[in-house]
A and B are shown apart, each in its own frame.
Chain A
Amino acid sequence: MSPTRRSVLKGIASAATLAATGAPEALAGPLPKKTPPPDAVGLLYDATRCIGCQACVVKCKEANGLPPDSGTPRGAMYDAPDDLNSKTKNIIKLYKGEDGRTSFMKAQCMHCVDPACASVCMISALYKGPRGIVAYDPGKCVGCRYCQTACPFNVPKYEWNTAFPKIVKCELCRHLVEKGGVPACVAACPREAVIFGGLETLRADAKGRLAREPGKYYPKVYGDTDGGGTQVLYLSVAGIPFDKLGLPDLGTESGAALSEHLTHAVYQGFIAPIALYAVLGFAVWRSWRRQGLGKGGQE
């Protein structure tokens, strides 16, 4: 019986399955949980305090040397980005509910405890830097944009209009934080709607606000555990869940942990690739023998 296309594909599939299930104990256990460094810093954004003045948007651009984005349909006379983009690392958005309720929303990098962008980056151009800040090294970046597709918050942006494009995203003003300063958005905020500090201090502060004024807030601190935890925490207005503000429901596990776990399990001991190539090699050998190619050829 000569190997049909169907039988070969079947063989490959079963080998892969065998390899994947070959490390069942590795997959069965709980996902490895990453923790933020003890000196981790972050932001706490309180939507109930934000007045939408956009001072943080202006000062972010000043501090990071970003040009105005006036190419959007909203008019050329303003710096009017309609989303995070290669010229905008921080933006204030407006949620308008059908019930007439409104809330401002500050979008920037969430500085995940276990960031998907850094996980998929093949050469660590994006990496978890000092104090847990997710930093970017433009000298390493090859422009594959895996980080763009991986980020659950749609944060890393690509410079589509330049000859040597880079990734642009909030790095928590690490050039200022390194010198003992605070991020520009925090310094600019006239209402302390966004504050900067140690992650655990911010977490305690956020939970304290929820406990003190439960009627004022949506009863959850986003980023506490979401997606494995983020170093930027959010408080929302009562009655407006976080998914309305563009913060997706990610569960408590980080996506990076799951994908890394699966890949590492499949490649554990390099069993799966060896098994796959063994099956392929066998199929090739059998095919050659049937057609007599190994013994001087047919023509």
Chain B
Amino acid sequence: MGPETGRRTGFGKWEGQGVSRREFLRTCAIAAAAVGLPGWTVAEIAEAAAAGGRPPVVWLHFQECTGCSETLLRASHPAVSELILDLVSLDYHETLFAAAGKQAEEALNAAIQKNKGKYICVIEGAIPTRDNGIYCKIAGRTATDLVTDIGLKAGAIIAIGSCAAWGGIPSAAPNPTGATGVPQFLKNANNAPYLKEKAIVALPGCPPNPYTFLGTVLQYATYGTLPALDSLGRPAFAYARTIHEDCPRRPHFDAGRFAERFGDEGHRHGYCLYKTGCKGPRTHAPCSLQHFGEVVGAWPVGIGHPCFGCTEQSLAFRVPLHTTVEIDRPTPPDTYPPIHADHGGVSVAAVGVAGLTVGALIGAGAVAAKKLGASKGEGKQEKDKEAK
């Protein structure tokens, strides 16, 4: 445990601050493992953190319930305390701050001035835009003003939660405050023309999985890069697949075994919840692989409730909870068509309609033919004879 070792792992700076080297490396290793970074990154995370390169984080709250912060508090690999003390420098967070009022505002302004262009701006909550944004104000400034100002000066923007990612509950109909998501607001050239090229990471979910956030932040803290994003700005490592694709109940779906209603035999046996309105087939999120609150099985489908589709703008708070949805990428069922498929015969009704049509045509033809004969005079003479 000489100074050499300390230098190699970047620990030297932390010695004598009540943090043991073992604990520090453990935190880094847990952080790397939890978010799926390979083992060799542990040393790099430690180095980046110890070298004082902890990225400053400014966390803004707008129209939200703080559920996203709450779920982050319940992560333990690494715990949020380890995250905010060892790995990032949380310079401003309204609900975790000890300071308040003037002190808090000073801290915010100092952090922005000091780390301009380098800090991570995490935004939790939707932005109300109606009536010049007066429905959400902090220290006398509207959310639209704050997000444009502080977001512009950030190195990276992370919109955490469905509210920040696309509007969430505040944007649900009738949306009285004109709530909108951060990417939608900032990508609108009228609001922030300079942000067109800046990557905004969206982490939708109600709440999103804390490890998706931790993984994104740790990658930025260690390498200064952001993970690969999909067309909606979501990290592909967490949002590329649907819940349905990795669902532990998927074999039941493939075999056609469904819970038809809550409490029935299929429901008690843990069958697929599709018919009770599960939105898993259209919902892009890692829930089926990474559960919540550090408890295995703690996620909606795990406790027997259909997925609500909280990450999807087209589903959550729009499609009723128990309405079934179309499958995003349907695959064949666990049953097979026969060699010679029965394509169905002609129905009795169709035969009847066809028969009537043909009959009417024949009748009309016969009548027309008779009239043709009559116009030549033959029919008329015959009729005259009969009349006489």
Contacts and interface: CB of A to CB of B under 8 A. Distances in A.
Whether chain B is bound by chain A comes out as yes
Interface of A: 52, 54, 57-58, 68, 70, 74-75, 77-83, 91-96, 104-105, 244-246
Contacts of B330: 68, 70, 77-79
Given A83-B341, A92-B332, 17 more contacts: A52-B336, A54-B332, A57-B332, A58-B332, A68-B330, A74-B337, A75-B333, A77-B281, A77-B327, A77-B330, A78-B332, A82-B341, A83-B337, A83-B343, A93-B337, A94-B338, A104-B336
Contacts of B337: 74, 81-83, 91, 93-94
7 contacts: A70-B327, A77-B274, A78-B331, A80-B332, A81-B337, A92-B336, A96-B338
Contacts of A82: 337-338, 341-343
B340 interface: yes
A52 B330 CA distance: 17
B341 A54 contact: no
A184 to B, nearest CB: 14
B13 to A, nearest CB: 52
B98 interface: no
B252 to A, nearest CB: 12
Contacts of B341: 82-83
A81 B343 CA distance: 11
Interface of B: 253, 256, 274, 281, 324, 327, 330-333, 335-343
Contacts of A57: 332
A125 B143 CA distance: 62
B272 to A, nearest CB: 10
Given A77-B274, A77-B327, A246 B332 contact: no
B338 A54 contact: no
A78 B339 contact: no
A94 B337 CA distance: 6
Contacts of B340: 246
Nearest to B344: A73
Contacts of A244: 339
Nearest to B331: A58
Given A93-B338, A94-B338, A96-B338, A80 B333 contact: yes
Contacts of B335: 74, 80
B331 A105 contact: no
A33 B192 CA distance: 73
Contacts of A104: 336
Most chain B beta carbons < 10 A, residue from A75, A83, A245: A83
Contacts of B333: 74-75, 78, 80
Contacts of B332: 54, 57-58, 78-80, 92
A25 to B, nearest CB: 42
Nearest to A79: B330
B205 to A, nearest CB: 25
Contacts of B324: 77
B331 A95 contact: no
A105 B339 CA distance: 8
